[in-house]
């Protein structure tokens, strides 16, 4: 008898196929008369997307589409276009250059009615309209940085009280007034943030961008249900677990990954003889499962997450502000930057509204249907995580099956990227010369280093000059090959500019969603995966019960996969049953399997131990 895991690891079953495939490709010359298999064309979806049946589209029949034409290459004409379209926000020191996106005046003119509708939609949203009709919710992340916009005094007070509470708590933790019960340091030194999706990505981005070299509290994240990942974070804390503030963040308060992270951390606290409640903080909606747990167990603090703030736009709520403040980041500056940006984005003249300019560029570059991906390339290490952050903000907001009128549109805009110039040595080759399925957003930071620290590593040239040169060079080289790009420039990476960047993209997403007539504020597709995961775990319990029953027999009755599936009344799920058994076998789960993993039909399985109590439960 052998465990299935051992057999799986030595399975050679797929290997011979690779050379065969190669041989086939090599022996097929390119100039074959046989057509290359291609994807089904997307016309039906495109036409649905373009013929959105809003009142507006009824008067305007088709959405503007991108004419096939080359990009401007004449340097003088390009310079005129650059100057003509350059957007500057003086107070924020932020610039937006859209000159390397090839839209023309006709397109801008044709889009104008749609833009005006989008501005109206944003105005309504800010006034408290039910902008998320599926969930019957208001969408109020703009109020978080300007509470006077909140539609009633109750919400205004809630926002202000929460902000004050966040600042006070952070100050008391940092100053040591609030301290862990049994730490030799006598104060909190670490934060362990447990959360996922919108309850992790903003805090991760901001920590990477803004945390000082020696923050008052250092931050770590558990943002998955990967046991090895969780063990790693806890092991890295070592004895400092005693001075770790654990912030559990979940809007719903019931996300399984976050719950699992919490249970694992609580176990680590028990094993270290520490009292979790004295070091635990919850950020969640009132009366959620997490909130009730924290209240009943008497955790150190609880902060509210509002039902009118979506996870992916929650960075300016307690979700983002508390971890930031604890790291010594000036959160009021972040809010001020976001608020200034919001103000600019209320302009109804396109050229004065940077978010609308971005949305328009996205529409042009991706034909309003996500036909091209957005590659985000910050040329600044500290902004590394902006593409991950934007991935959720943009893709969860825009990636929708249906539009607001119920038409199937399969909308979206793919976002990926890491940082420059690093990525120049990885995938820029393909961007320059390969498949033309993207446009780029460069994020440029003018200030290389804090003043007084720079030096010339060769005559007249600093390290930062190289970074600058790499960005400009890549932008030019891509454009020369008809690859379009946007450049967002900020003076420095500061709480104010990061707040402004977040607000810029939040608004661009809102405007773009309106342009393509979708609900940016729900995520029905995420539920399908969660439901399916729940079904897998329920099936696993049934498999275990069936195996337990067979293993309690005398003699033990090993079962084939077909027999397990039949006894689970889940014949259609036999592949999943096989995977469940393989996974359990790989994890020493008292499950014994005979046979070869590569031939699932040969497998016979039983439990190493029979649990009589469970059998008669
Ligand atoms: O904050 P939570 O309720 O735990 O949700 C965390 C994440 O879960 C979901 O999968 C949603 O799609 C995300 O938008 C959300 O940010």
The Cα 438–Cα 435 span in angstroms is 8
| Burial class of residue 547 in the structure, from the number of CB atoms within 10 Å of its CB (0-12 exposed, 13-18 middle, 19+ buried) | buried
Distance CA 195, CA 317 (A): 14
75-130+338-522 matches 525-614 in fold: no
Model pLDDT, residue 211 = 98
Would you tell me how many other CB atoms lie within 10 Å of the CB of residue 494?
21
Block mean pLDDT (10 aa), the chain, length 617: 38 31 31 40 37 41 60 96 98 98 97 98 96 90 98 97 98 97 89 98 98 98 98 98 98 96 98 98 98 98 97 98 98 98 98 98 98 98 98 98 97 97 94 97 97 92 97 97 98 98 98 98 89 93 95 94 97 96 90 87 92 75
Which residues on adjacent β-strands are paired with residue 435?
A: none
Cα(129)–Cα(120) distance, integer angstroms: 11
Active site residue 569: no
Please list, in sequence order, all residues whose beta carbon lies within 8 angstroms of the beta carbon of residue 189, skipping any fewer than 6 positions away.
183, 217, 218, 240, 243, 244
Q: Known catalytic residue: 286?
A: no
Report how far residue 600's alpha carbon sits from residue 491's, in angstroms, rounded to the nearest whole number. Answer: 60
Interatomic CA distance for residues 592 and 580, integer angstroms: 13
Residue with CA nearest ligand 1 atom 9: 197
Distance from C-alpha of 46 to C-alpha of 55, rounded to nearest angstrom: 19
And the tokens for 74? 């004449």
Q: What is the dihedral of CA 98, 100, 104, 109, to 10 degrees?
A: -10
Spatial distance between the Cα atoms of 324 and 496, rounded to a whole number of angstroms: 13
Distance 531 CA to ligand 1 centre (A): 14
Q: Which of 252, 257, 305, 524 to mutate to test the pocket of ligand 1 (most atoms within 8 A of CB)?
A: 252
Separation of CA 463 and ligand 1 centre (Å): 40
Topology of the domain comprising 75-130+338-522: Rossmann fold (3.40.50)
| ipTM confidence score | 0.99
Topology annotation, domain 143-329 = Rossmann fold (3.40.50)
The topology under which CATH files domain 525-614 is Arc Repressor Mutant, subunit A (1.10.10)
For Cα atoms 311, 493, 215, give the angle at the middle one, nearest 5 degrees: 75
Centroid of ligand 1 to alpha carbon of 280 (angstroms): 20
- What's the pLDDT at 217? 98
Q: What are phi and psi of 368, to 5 degrees?
A: 65, 10
- Given the CA of residue 319, which atom of ligand 1 is nearest to it? 1
Residue bearing tokens 């300007």? 146
Q: Ligand 1, atom 6: nearest CA belongs to which residue?
A: 197
CA-proximal residue: ligand 1, atom 4 (nearest): 250
Could you tell me if 205 and 233 are in contact, meaning their C-beta atoms sit under 8 angstroms apart? no
Q: Which residue has the tokens 């862990």?
A: 180
Contact 467, 79 (CB under 8 A): no
Pocket of ligand 1 (CB under 6 A): 196-199, 250-252, 255, 258, 311-312, 396, 523, 526
Per-residue pLDDT at 607: 94
Q: What pLDDT is attached to residue 133?
A: 84
Q: What is the CA angle 117-120-126, rounded to 5?
A: 145
Is 425 a catalytic site residue?
yes
290 CA to centre of ligand 1 in angstroms: 14
For the chain, what are the domain ranges?
75-130+338-522, 143-329, 525-614
């Amino acid at each position: 008898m052998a465990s299935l895991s051992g057999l799986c690891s030595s399975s050679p079953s797929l290997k011979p196929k690779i050379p065969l495939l190669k041989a086939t490709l090599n022996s097929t010359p390119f100039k074959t008369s046989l057509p290359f298999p291609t994807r089904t064309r997307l016309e039906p979806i495109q036409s649905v997307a373009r013929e959105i049946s809003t009142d507006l589209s009824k008067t305007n029949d088709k959405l503007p589409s991108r004419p096939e034409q080359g990009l401007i290459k004449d340097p003088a004409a390009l310079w005129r276009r650059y100057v003509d379209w350059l957007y500057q926000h003086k107070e924020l020191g932020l610039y937006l250059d859209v000159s390397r996106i090839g839209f023309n005046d006709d397109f801008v003119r044709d889009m104008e009615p749609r833009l005006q509708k989008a501005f109206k939609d944003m105005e309504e949203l800010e006034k408290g309209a039910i902008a998320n009709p599926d969930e019957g919710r208001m969408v109020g992340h703009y109020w978080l940085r300007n509470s006077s916009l909140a539609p009633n005094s109750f919400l205004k007070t809630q926002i202000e009280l929460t902000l004050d509470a966040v600042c006070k708590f952070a100050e008391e933790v940092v100053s040591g007034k609030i301290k862990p019960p049994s730490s030799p340091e006598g104060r909190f030194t670490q934060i362990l943030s447990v959360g996922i999706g919108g309850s992790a990505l903003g805090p991760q981005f901001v920590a990477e961008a803004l945390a000082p070299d020696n923050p008052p509290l250092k931050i770590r994240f558990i943002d998955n249900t990967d046991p090895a990942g969780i063990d790693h974070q806890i092991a890295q804390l070592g004895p400092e677990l005693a001075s770790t503030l654990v912030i559990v963040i979940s809007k719903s308060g019931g996300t399984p990954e976050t719950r699992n992270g919490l249970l694992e951390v609580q176990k680590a606290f028990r094993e270290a003889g520490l009292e979790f409640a004295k070091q635990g903080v919850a950020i969640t909606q009132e009366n959620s499962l997490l909130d009730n747990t924290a209240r009943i167990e008497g955790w150190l603090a609880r902060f509210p997450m509002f039902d009118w703030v979506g996870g992916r736009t929650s960075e300016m709520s307690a979700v983002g502000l508390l971890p930031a403040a604890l790291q010594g980041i000036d959160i009021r500056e972040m809010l001020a930057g976001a608020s200034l940006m919001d103000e600019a984005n209320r302009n109804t003249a396109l050229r004065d509204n940077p978010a609308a300019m971005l949305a328009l560029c996205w529409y042009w570059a991706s034909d309003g249907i996500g036909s091209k991906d957005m590659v985000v390339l910050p040329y600044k290490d500290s902004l590394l995580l902006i593409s991950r952050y934007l991935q959720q903000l943009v893709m969860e907001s825009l990636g929708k099956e249906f539009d607001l009128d119920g038409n199937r549109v399969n909308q979206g805009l793919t976002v990926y990227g890491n940082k420059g110039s690093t990525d120049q040595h990885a995938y820029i080759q393909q961007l320059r010369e390969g498949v033309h399925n993207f446009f780029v957003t460069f994020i440029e930071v003018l200030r290389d280093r804090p003043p007084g620290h720079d030096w010339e590593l060769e005559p007249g040239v600093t390290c930062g000059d190289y970074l600058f040169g790499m960005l400009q060079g890549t932008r030019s080289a891509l454009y020369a090959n008809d690859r379009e790009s946007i450049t967002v420039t900020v003076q420095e990476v500061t709480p104010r500019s990061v707040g402004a960047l977040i607000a810029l993209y939040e608004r661009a997403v809102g405007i773009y969603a309106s342009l393509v007539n979708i609900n940016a504020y729900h995520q029905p597709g995420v539920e399908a995966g969660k439901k399916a995961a729940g079904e897998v775990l329920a099936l696993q319990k049934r498999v275990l019960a069936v195996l337990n029953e067979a293993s309690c027999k005398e003699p033990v009755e090993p079962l084939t996969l077909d027999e397990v599936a039949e006894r689970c009344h889940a014949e259609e799920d036999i592949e999943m049953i096989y995977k469940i058994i393989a996974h359990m076998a790989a994890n020493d789960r008292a499950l014994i399997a005979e046979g070869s993993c590569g031939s699932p039909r040969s497998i016979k399985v039983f439990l190493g131990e029979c649990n009589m109590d469970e059998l008669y439960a």
